[in-house]
Structure 1
Amino acid sequence: MHNLPLAAPSSLSPIPATSDMLRRVIPQGTSPTTSGRIRTAHGRRRTVAALFCAVVILAGTAGAGHADPVDDRRAEAERRSSAADRRAEELRASIEGLSVQLSQAVLDLQATQSRLPAAKAELEEARATLEAAQREAIIVANRLQDATEQRSSLTATIAADRANADELRAAVGAMAREAYRGAPGVSALDVMLDAEDASDFLDNARLVDAALRSQARVLDDLRRVEATNRNSEARLGAVTDRVAELKQEAEAKVAIADEARRVAQAREDEIVRLIADQTARQNTITALKAQAEAEQAEIDAQRAAIERELAAIIAEQRAAREAAEAAARAAAEAAGQKPPPVEAPSGSVSGAVFGNPTSINPMYVTSEYGMRLHPILGYVRLHAGIDLRTGCDTALYAPRDATVVWSQWRNGFGNQVMLDYGTVDGNSLMSSSNHLTRSVVRAGQGVAKGQLIGYSGNTGLSGACHLHFEVYVNGSTVNPRPLLGR
């Protein structure tokens, strides 16, 4: 067995939980301070945030530069996975002739070896996703911190402006009360007309003008403060909405990071388990090696016995044919006629001489004829037929008019039906259908093409229900594929 070299995966890098990180950077509440101090702190925070974002962007750029090795590792893992899948298909073909126990042990080991490269690639991808999610979570957390401080600053500004507006309204009220505190009919004109001389008139006019300017200034200040306050309240609403959006985004980033961490941990656990499973299954196969040797020896013995029996049958047929040909020549010579020609064996049979022996249409070959490596014993052996897809207990048919040579149990081949098609192109042509659940024919019976001969199964040394179909020309196996019509 060729074992897949493996190394235990490195542990995930200890990265703080994203939710804890966000709790550290997102304020739970900000007490109001003076407007100037908040703006100063806010400015410092924006500067730090800008520097941090620049660092993160540079880090992201560096990470992008290192993405190629990760992609290369993933591509290599996928390549190995594809190779393992091909190996799995080869193994499924090579388990013909193994018992169910040995077949399952081989397939289980291959399934583990096929899964390992994919699991490692998924682990790398989950780690990359986790790192990206944590970087994005930090950026969003800083944006949220920035928006939260803006909200606190605006709240404090609005409170200060409201207090200022209240003071201005009180001043306007005081002016109004002072204006109406005098006798009825007293006004700025009265004050100026009460002047005793020109100098007094000018002084009174200046006082009236100063009072009016002061009142107008207070009213202008009040209008300006109220307009500023309305603008600040509108900004506060927008910032409050932004804070809510950023909180949702931050929670989403935390969820993505947590899921990536969970997937990465699951893949790491799976890889550890797969390595342990691989070792256990390799040990199981090693323990079953003696059983595999015994099973292979049984198949070889059965095939040798079949070849001897076919050789004896062919020898009898040849002797009978030669005797008939000799008698025909003697009779022709006695009658003064030309002897009939003797058909010389061509040594091969060609063309689509057989019909579909299964109930699956069109036929589907799951394993070809030819040499292949024994999955446990490690040496090359001949797969002397083709495997055709069938379901368990589905009908099997005679692929050509024939005589049943035998229908019996043949150990590694299970229930076997051997059919004799006589001489084709001067050659003896026979076929066997193997691993049947049961047959419905008997030795010596003649069958027509398409006639039911039995039902497919998983008897003998077979890993699953299928038809193992062999063809013999002059007693030796040949590739049945070119002889099967579609």
Structure 2
Amino acid sequence: MTPKRKRLLSALLVLLVVGSAAVASPAGADDLDDKREAAQARADAADAAREAAEAQLEELDGAAQQAAADLIAVEAQLPAAQARVDAAAEALAKAQREQALIADRLQAAQDEEQAVVTTIAQDDDRATQIRAAIGQMAREAYKSGTDASGLDVVLGAESSEDFVQRYGLLSTALRTQSQVLDELSAIESANRSSQARLTAVKERIAELKAEADAKVAEADAARQEATAAKAAIDDLVAQQTAKKAALESQRADIEAQLAKIDAERSAVESELNAIIAEQRARDSANQAPTGSVSGALFGNPTSISPIYVTSEYGMRLHPTLGYVRLHAGIDLRTYCGTPIYAGRDGTVVWAKSRYGFGNQVMVDHGFYRGNSLMSSYNHMTSFVVSAGQSVSQGQLLGYSGNTGTSAACHLHFEVYVNGATVNPRPLLGL
């Protein structure tokens, strides 16, 4: 592998890592099927990311390809970096919200503590007053030598009127004494409840303070992560700007490469048209098309089954360079050095290296409904056939490679109808 290819693969590896990291692992450690599906999803995502990057780098070579690869690698990291920024910001906001809620609960608990302390103090004051009053009553009774019993009331009365008066005073005194004692008992009971409540509130305050301290630490950690994430994405944006500038500096070289590729493609089509004209001149039965070219006319040209298309036929906007160009075939997944087969019976027109196409095998399949039908197999590492050789469908043509303006091993498969490319997908039965 050349140093340039190694650098390119390093850049693409960044994309693979980011793409793989973006897929979350499934919940449920004991669910083996889910784990297998998740592992396959990660593998598929990595393959798709790699192949998308490779498609972006097609038609470039040298420093231009490396500059585009560097930019792709940096831009591939931006979504994950932005996700990290968003997650860090959300974590910080959540920590701050929870911190505020805990602070509110703590303040409410502290207010409740103060209210309970005030209630206890007021009850203590009232109980002290009641005890003082009871004591005063007892002392007064002792000093006067009076006995507030019912017998004293009956025996000490000098008249019925005195008896009624004495009995009324006694009843009032007894009621007052009973009420005072009941109030004192109620205060003492309420005070015990308040003390228990105060203990619970103090314990809750201690818990809330510990929780608040933990949330402060969590918010600080979230703030640090948010700062680090923002710094990381700022660095990536700076790198992106620099890589874009580096790629832009290759603009002239890129345009020259594209012009050279266009010239080579025009040359290929001119050669094919010359061959077709000569064939039509020889064969009076194929002077003009008699029907359309459709249906599954070609077999799988790769060793991957089922066929896996990594890049489609059609006009394609290059996401980093901004130009729109025709992708004149479809890219099929293959691996380096794997077999490439003839898609249909035919005759090899040429097997040689061409600029942009790399090692190319062009096969002429003759006429189908009066239409010239040919196919080409590109970027091969080597071929085992030669010009003029007859081949059968499924016969080995050579081995997959990464030659020409290619970013990784794959098969760029093209079909020509009357000397112009068409979409091979339906002709492969896909």
Report the TM-score when normalising by structure 1. 0.60
The letter for the 1-side match of 2:376 is S
SS of the counterpart of 2:356? helix
How far the C-alpha of 1:461 sits from its partner, in A, is: 0.8
The answer to whether residue 287 in structure 2 is matched with residue 344 in structure 1 is: yes
The aligned runs of 1:235-254 (5 Å cut-off) are: 235-236=197-198, 239-240=201-202, 243=205, 247=209, 250=212, 254=216
Q: Percent identity?
A: 55
Partner of 1:145: 107
Q: Distance in 2 between matches of 1:376 and 1:163?
A: 83
The aligned runs of 1:71-470 (5 Å cut-off) are: 93=55, 95-99=57-61, 102-103=64-65, 105-106=67-68, 108-109=70-71, 134=96, 137-138=99-100, 140-158=102-120, 161-162=123-124, 165=127, 188=149, 215-233=177-195, 235-236=197-198, 239-240=201-202, 243=205, 247=209, 250=212, 254=216, 258=220, 261-262=223-224, 264-307=226-269, 309-310=271-272, 313-314=275-276, 317=279, 321=282, 342-346=285-289, 350-352=293-295, 353-372=297-316, 380-470=324-414
How far the C-alpha of 1:435 sits from its partner, in A, is: 0.8
SS of the counterpart of 1:224? helix
The letter for the 2-side match of 1:157 is T
**Cα distance change on mapping 1:224 and 1:265 into 2, 3 Å:** same
**Cα distance change on mapping 1:147 and 1:379 into 2, 3 Å:** closer
Partner deviation per Cα, 1:429-481 (whole Å, 9 max, x = no partner): 32110012333334443322122323322222112222111223444434434
Which is greater in Rg? 1
Q: Distance in 2 between matches of 1:126 and 1:265?
A: 8
Report the TM-score when normalising by structure 2. 0.66
Q: Distance in 2 between matches of 1:239 and 1:348?
A: 91
- For these two proteins, the number of residue pairs brought into alignment is 377
Partner deviation per Cα, 1:338-362 (whole Å, 9 max, x = no partner): xxx7442329851232222223444
Unmatched tracts of structure 1, length 5 or more: 1-87, 323-340
How far the C-alpha of 1:224 sits from its partner, in A, is: 2.3
The letter for the 1-side match of 2:288 is P
Q: Distance in 2 between matches of 1:424 and 1:195?
A: 144
- Name the Cα RMSD after superposition: 4.8
Q: Distance in 2 between matches of 1:161 and 1:302?
A: 103
SS of the counterpart of 1:421? strand
Range with greater deviation from structure 2 (187-196 or 349-358): 187-196
The letter for the 1-side match of 2:293 is S
- 8 Å CA contact 1:404–1:417 kept in 2: the answer is yes
- 8 Å CA contact 1:109–1:278 kept in 2: the answer is yes
SS of the counterpart of 2:337? coil
The letter for the 2-side match of 1:296 is L
Range with greater deviation from structure 2 (213-222 or 416-425): 213-222
- 8 Å CA contact 1:293–1:377 kept in 2: the answer is no
- 8 Å CA contact 1:120–1:271 kept in 2: the answer is yes
